Structure formats: structure tokens, C-alpha cells
Amino acid sequence: MAEALVYLVTGGCGFIGEHIVQLLCKQDYVSEVRVFDAMASEEVKKLATGKETRDIRDYTLLLSAMRGVHVVIHTAAIVDISDTVPFQEMKTVNVAGKCFKLCGSLLLLVFIYLRGTEDTDYSGEVELPYGKTKAWAQKLVLEANGKKVSNNGGKLATCIIAPNAVYGEKSLTLKNSYISVKAKGGVLDYVEPEDTERNYIYVGNVAWMHVLAARSLQLKPDVLAGQVYYAYDDTPIRKGCLVRYELLSAMDTSVKLGSRIPYWKIWLQIYFSKIIKILLYPFWKSQPFLNLPLLNTLVTTFSYETNKAFRHFGYMPLYSWEESKRRTGSWLQHAGPMAP
């Protein structure tokens, strides 16, 4: 082994974090992978050399876990697109990490962004509270770049990986979509207008980009430090429902593409559900329904074309679109409504 680097992955039992841990454990330059997560995962327990089931808001424990660590990959977050978690609680978790590399999200803005790049200017509005906390965290991470490290006199190098819509094994969003489709007789209805498009990225490729960027951030800090990289692979850039349909129908041929639900109809349902929730509270706690900020995000184009990650650190997708579909479908068969 040429080097013996110690990595810490916060949120290492989460959707993206678990895939990052799996890939890190295969790298010959990594001697130890520590995981800091509030949840336990049997898969991660088998792989990680150090597993801390801890709350990232406990600053003392987090500092202890970081002793002797060379690289931190920060993926811990409360992901709440249904807007049910109190903002202050989400803020204390999602803005906690000033680490070497942050996994961000582009599903935050309501602004038409068509085939842009990392250098394209946009001024989208962050509507979801979840989005506000992630935007705040990204700002802190970029501001931390170049700051002196107190214990060794070196400088902190940071960068951000920003995926758009991520699919793959352990995706609860995709699993819930499949359950909903089967409950409707196998019909996938959608809200996206015909002329919208969005980047979908397979989780294994998002994780691979993290691993490559984290390594290159050490080797070439003058190139990567302070940069933001959009995550991408060869998943077709198209209307979101068409990607979901292809993922589900490739695994279950009974799934059929339905019709578009008009915006106004969803808008009315959102406001009726709010009224019912207010009238019946606290006697009945309704299930979270689609909210207006998320609806506005779904019906808005946000896509990009870039090769910045390839140019800066040689990233190429580890999994093809066909392999990504196969792996995702295999997992859904065991995790979805048709599972035994």
C-alpha cells in the first residue's frame, strides 16, 4: 500500500453515503474508513473499520471521530422535501458540517436552467426549507476553503459535488413511486410539462465522483479547492417521468405511462390538504402531501451539460445507463411491492 489514508464519511449509512463507503473500502490507498451516522446499517458495519452511531449535532463526539482523519466526506443531512421537519432541527443537522467535501443538491431551485454548466449564472429562488439549509451549508463549506488547520498549520481544502435527481439502490423516492404506481394498477401519472427536462444520475456514479474528487482534492488542491462540480453520467436528459418510467418498466413490464395531471389540479389538492390539516389538528395527523415548492420544482426545467469533473480529475461514470437500470431494477424487485 503506497499510502495509508484515513477517511471519515458522515451520513455513511445513508442513500449516497453507503455507496461511498463501499467504494472507499476497495481503494488500496485507504487504510481506514470511519462512519459517523445517527442510524445503523448492517452493510456498512461489515465494511467500515470504524462505525460511530452518533448524532452529528454532538460537536464533541464529531471532533473525536475526526482525530487522525485525512479526508472528510460530508453527506449527513435531514432530507425533507415534504416540509414536515421543523426548520431549526433541519438547520442544526444540515448546516453542521464544515468539512473537506460536501454532497449538495440541485433539487432546490425554482428557475428555468436549460443545459447550463457550472459557470452559467442563475438566480433561482430557494423555496423549500430543506433547500435553504443545503444552500447555507454549501456557502459555509466554500468559505472554509483555504482556512488554516489549527493542529498542523496546514490549510483546509474544500469542494462540492452537486447531483440533481439521484436514483438507484436504496432510493426511497423511487421505491415509494413504484408502490404508488402498483397501487394505481401499474399506471405512472405525472405532473411535468412536455417541454421540461432534468438530469437523473445513478447513485453509484455519484459515489464514484465523490471518491475521485476526494482523492484529487489532496493531490491537486490548486485545481479542485473551492470548486463546485455538477454530478453527471450517461442517463438520458429528458422529462423526469420518462426516466422513472424507463427504470420501472425495465423491471416490471406491467408498468404503463399514464397521463399528465394538470398543475391547477395538484395546486388545489395541496391547498385543500392544508385546510383539512388545520381544521382537524390536533385530532388527526394527516400524511404529508406534495407541497407547492416541490410542485414548482417538478414542473420546472433544470438541466446541465458539463465535463468539468472529467477535465479536473478524470471522472468517467463507473456504471453505464444500462447497468444502472439493471442494478436499480434488481434492488426494486426485492424491495418493492412485488417482493416476497
Ramachandran region of residue 115, left (φ > 0), alpha (ψ -120 to 50) or beta?
Answer: left
Distances (CA, A) of 116 to 113, 127, 285, 307: 6, 21, 42, 11
| Side chain identity at residue 215, one-letter code | R
Per the annotation, the verdict on 232 as an active-site residue is no
Burial 62-72, CB ≥16 within 10 A → b, else e: beebbeebbbb
Residue 46 C-alpha cell reads as 461489515
For CA atoms 92, 98, 100, 106, the dihedral sign is: positive
Q: Which of 7, 29, 113, 130 is catalytic?
A: 130
Residue 158 C-alpha cell reads as 474544500
Phi, psi at 248, each rounded to 5°: -75, -45
340 Cβ neighbours under 8 A, 6+ residues apart:
none
Q: What is the DSSP letter of 165?
A: E
Beta-bridged to residue 37, according to DSSP, are 53
| Side chain identity at residue 36, one-letter code | F
Residue 81 C-alpha cell reads as 422535501
- For the chain, where are the alpha helices, taking DSSP H only? 15-24, 42-47, 59-65, 87-94, 129-144, 172-183, 203-219, 221-224, 240-251, 263-280, 292-298, 308-313, 321-335
Catalytic residues: 130
